[in-house]
Amino acid sequence: MLKIFSSFFVFMILAYPQSALSADIAAGEARYKETCINCHGPAGKGAGSFPKVSGKEISYTTDKLEAYRKGIKQGSNSFLMFPMAKPLTDEEIANLAAYLEGAKYNVE
Amino acid sequence: MKSISSNLFSGIMASALIVAMPFAAKADGHDGAMDVPKITSEVVLQGLENPWDMAFLPDGTMFFTEKCKGLSVRTTDGSVNALYGVKGSSGYADSGDDLFCEAQAGMLGVVPDRHFDKNRVLYVYSSSTKYRGDGCKTNFEKCDGNIVMRFKVSDDLKSVSERTDIVTDIQYKPFPSDQPFGDPGAHNGGRLRVGPGGYLWVAGGDRHRGICPQDPKLLCGKVLRVDMDGNAHPDNNPPEGFDKRIYTYGHRNVQGIDFRPSDGKAFTAEHGPWHNDEITALVNGGNAGWDPAQNTGGRGECPDQYCGYEPNQTESMDPAIRAAYTPMSDTRFEDLMPATWNNNGYSQGTGSAAFLKGDNWGIYEGRLAVGIMGIGFSGTPAGSRIDMISITPDGLGINGIVRMPLGFSKRFRGLVMGPDNALYVSVDAGEIYRITAESLQ
């Protein structure tokens, strides 16, 4: 049963590589709060030298994170992103992108 | 509204301090019970864009700046009036076509005159295109682009008038450069405060130009002490040949400055490079020791003539090697003001600082509250926080640091004491908080 389920899961990811269906928004949020929040601020709002990363299409964020993970320079401060993106798995990138697409900042 | 009682903490602190200070504990008649206040916070304003600095009148009226928008005031009934915007802003009673924001630059510090009740004078720091002339063709020219303005505020707090630019020649970085955070507009300092004698203090930054901090004439990388018209305080004592407006030099990026209540001594909090941050007790005419110039102090050539992130701008490396290459406080300077506190190899970014005033702060009264904005680069512990630092009477060291128990963590950009003895704090995310302390004794 587990096997069937996991192969179905793999199928879903392959079939809809950038679909929110395959991504876990809650896991994305949790991952975001581990490191990303220190620069990009709560809910990807952006601040100071750190760009806003919320409200972007999933494909945009995925492409950016994949590029940083490969060490491909994007803007003038990409060196700050390289070490952050390097450890990300495909799944984490999908989760992060899904979370950031709809992340809304609420003052606590 | 958050309410975090720090009882556990107080217990630990109390036992630690009882051991350390048996006589003090007895002397104040509390049998060792330390007065650890209850600290709570609430949002005063939200939805702002990069609120940077605040300033208070005795009745609680609060002026505040938003870096890319302009100057506003929150009146005592809680309503907000937008007073003076930067170019392109909307909804402000008036605006300056020469004022703009770019990366770290924009409308920054604000402070009222000591005699505001009589003269209604308010000072504001901003980047401006008005005085550039043709001196901004490259990053290696003077480029006057940060200014201090003086305004008159109307009695009804709805408008400002009589803008007079009293300091017009603080340097600005006009173009990108080959540096981390290499955008234009880097390192402006920008905090304004009125000192115990009523003079205006202007905290500056090195604007990513190697020669700035140690140059005798350029105002970048300096702390100025001037009068209402921008003229030098007569007692400023910089070295021979220096611009007389300079109180101290050799700074990197001073975003925090305040005066110790017990003796009026000025302290700065500086945003450091990859290997440090510093708090410094200022000495009239002293040198804070930052010298990012190339071909000096044992350094060779550096990218765009700025050694501030060398010898390796973007990769991780042992901070001690960085610190040896371009120290924050270079001991080869005889007039060096040694740091009160340094971040010991960590790069976290100290933003703003304010001494805690009022006995409601209990054992923290008189400590320096400092906003620290750790991004977690290169092995440095991440996390934004406010530290309460107990500084030794001579200003040359610390007794200890306690993290303010807030229950949340944001990029704490501006810290100011209000007339109600609460600490007001602006965060990059867009809020201004009021942090109150309540003595439980």
- Render pLDDT for B252-296 as a digit per residue (tens, 0 to 9): 999 999 999 999 999 999 998 888 899 999 999 999 999 999 999
Pick among A39, A73, A104 to test the B interface (most B CBs inside 10 A): A39
Judge whether B35 and B441 are in contact, CB under 8 Å.
Answer: yes
- Say if B20 falls within a structural domain: no
Q: How far apart are CA B66 and CA B364, in angstroms?
A: 30
**Model pLDDT, residue B300:** 95
Domain around B82 = 36-438
Query: What CATH number did the domain enclosing B154 receive?
Result: 2.120.10.30
**Model pLDDT, residue A7:** 47
How far does B77 lie from chain A, in Å, by closest CA?
A: 22
Q: How far apart are CA B82 and CA B94, in angstroms?
A: 9
**Model pLDDT, residue B380:** 73
What 3-state class would DSSP assign to B288?
coil
Structure tokens at B380: 């440095």
- Reported pTM: 0.89
- Say if B189 falls within a structural domain: yes
Q: How far apart are CA A44 and CA A64, in angstroms?
A: 14
Q: How far apart are CA B235 and CA B232, in angstroms?
A: 8
Residues of chain B with Cβ-Cβ distance to A83 below 8 Å are 316, 377-378
Percentage of residues in chain A with pLDDT exceeding 70? 80
**Model pLDDT, residue B37:** 96
Asked if A41 is an interface residue toward chain B (Cβ–Cβ < 8 A), one would say yes
Q: How far apart are CA A76 and CA B347, in angstroms?
A: 19
User: What is the arithmetic mean of pLDDT over A39-58?
Assistant: 90
List of domains in chain A:
29-102 (1.10.760.10)
- Say if B8 falls within a structural domain: no
- The pLDDT tens digits for B289-329 are 999 999 999 999 999 999 999 998 888 788 889 999 999 99
How far does B253 lie from chain A, in Å, by closest CA?
A: 15
Q: Which of A25, A17, A18, A33 is nearest to A100 (CA)?
A: A25
Q: How far apart are CA A85 and CA A93, in angstroms?
A: 9
pLDDT band of A21, cuts 50, 70, 90: low
Judge whether B128 and B101 are in contact, CB under 8 Å.
Answer: no
Q: What angle is formed at CA B53 by the lines to CA B400 and CA B244, rounded to 5 degrees?
A: 85
Asked if B103 is an interface residue toward chain A (Cβ–Cβ < 8 A), one would say yes
Beta-carbon count within 10 A of B84 CB: 26
Q: How far apart are CA B103 and CA B238, in angstroms?
A: 31
The answer to whether the CB atoms of A45 and B374 lie below 8 A apart is no
- Say if B309 falls within a structural domain: yes
Asked if B312 is an interface residue toward chain A (Cβ–Cβ < 8 A), one would say no
Total structural domains within chain B: 1
**Model pLDDT, residue B16:** 39
Residues of chain B where predicted confidence (pLDDT) is lower than 70: 1-32, 378
**For chain A, what is the mean pLDDT?**
84
What stretch of H or E contains B201?
Answer: strand B200-203
Using only the alpha carbons of chain B, give its radius of gyration. 21
Q: How far apart are CA B309 and CA B61, in angstroms?
A: 41
**Model pLDDT, residue B31:** 52
Judge whether B238 and B191 are in contact, CB under 8 Å.
Answer: no
What 3-state class would DSSP assign to B41?
strand
How far does A103 lie from chain B, in Å, by closest CA?
A: 14
- Say if B4 falls within a structural domain: no
